[in-house]
């Protein structure tokens, strides 16, 4: 199958966007990119450093700019930072240049996957299921509104999730 437009993976932190993106990249034989990694590379600093030194608004603007960069590139798999779909402008840009896949997981699953991470400023000091649940409930409608496809990841490994996406795409 040939990828005709970008494939954006969106969803909450820890839902598995990065690992599913890698699997899809192998199956479809196309490049995968990660918007967080693009920003880190451009800025020459880590995500926590960007949040700390320049603030969240700066980071959010950088995310929007990455979508413009991607607009000029060949179709690829794009693993998005968990907040990408929160801006209406970003959703429009993603829909203009690709299809959007929303990966879901329960707060308990998310917690298990991210509990040892120190690279997610939004969860610093908030690494617990109730907080994850609260933030997820705020975000969920926006993820759903952005999604062309919704895939649950609970109890499935990244290869199985990628297979599920491939079936929908074909
Ligand atoms: C964020 C998610 C992170 C990263 C930043 C903010 C968010 O990406 O972009 O820490 O707002 O949900 P991951 O979803 O890859 O952890």
| CATH code: domain of residue 143 | 3.40.50.300
- Per-residue pLDDT tens over the stretch 15-51: 999 999 999 999 999 999 999 999 999 999 999 999 9
CA distances from 159 to 15, 18, 112, 164 (A): 13, 12, 19, 9
pLDDT at res. 170: 84
- 48 lies in a domain? yes
> Residue 80's CB: how many other CB atoms inside 10 A?
26
pLDDT tens, residue by residue, 44-81: 999 999 999 999 999 999 999 999 999 999 999 999 99
Q: What is the mean pLDDT of the chain?
A: 97
As a whole number of angstroms, the distance between CA 76 and CA 60 comes to 22
The answer to whether residue 1 is domain-embedded is no
Alpha carbons 127 and 120: distance in angstroms, whole number = 10
Counting ligand 1 atoms within 8 A of each CB, the residue from 36, 65, 135 with the most, and so the one to mutate, is 36
Q: Would 77 be classed as within a structural domain?
A: yes
Nearest CA-CA partner of 38 in 26, 15, 16, 21: 21
Residue 127 belongs to a domain: yes
Q: Ligand 1: which residue has its CA nearest to atom 8?
A: 81
Report which secondary-structure segment, H or E, holds 10.
strand 6-10
Q: Work out how many domains the chain is built from and give that number.
A: 1
Atom 15 of ligand 1, nearest CA residue: 81
Structural domain harbouring 161: 6-169
Residue 1: pLDDT over 90: no
Is 60 part of a structural domain of the chain? yes
Ligand 1 centre distance from Cα of residue 13 (Å) = 5
């Amino acid at each position: 199958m040939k990828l005709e437009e970008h494939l954006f993976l969106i969803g909450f932190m820890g839902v598995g966007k990065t690992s599913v993106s890698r699997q899809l990249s192998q199956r479809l034989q196309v490049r995968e990119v990660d918007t967080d990694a693009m920003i880190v590379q451009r800025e020459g600093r880590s995500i926590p450093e960007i949040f700390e030194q320049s603030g969240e608004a700066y980071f959010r603007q950088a995310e929007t700019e990455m979508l413009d960069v991607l607009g000029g590139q060949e179709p690829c798999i794009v693993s998005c930072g968990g907040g990408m779909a929160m801006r209406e402008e970003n959703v429009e840009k993603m829909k203009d240049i690709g299809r959007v896949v929303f990966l879901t997981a329960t707060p308990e699953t998310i917690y298990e996957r991210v509990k040892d991470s120190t690279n997610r400023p939004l969860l610093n000091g908030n690494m617990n299921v109730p907080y994850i649940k609260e933030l997820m409930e705020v975000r969920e409608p926006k993820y759903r509104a952005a999604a062309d496809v919704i895939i649950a990841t609970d109890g499935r490994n990244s290869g199985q999730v990628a297979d599920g996406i491939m079936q929908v795409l074909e």
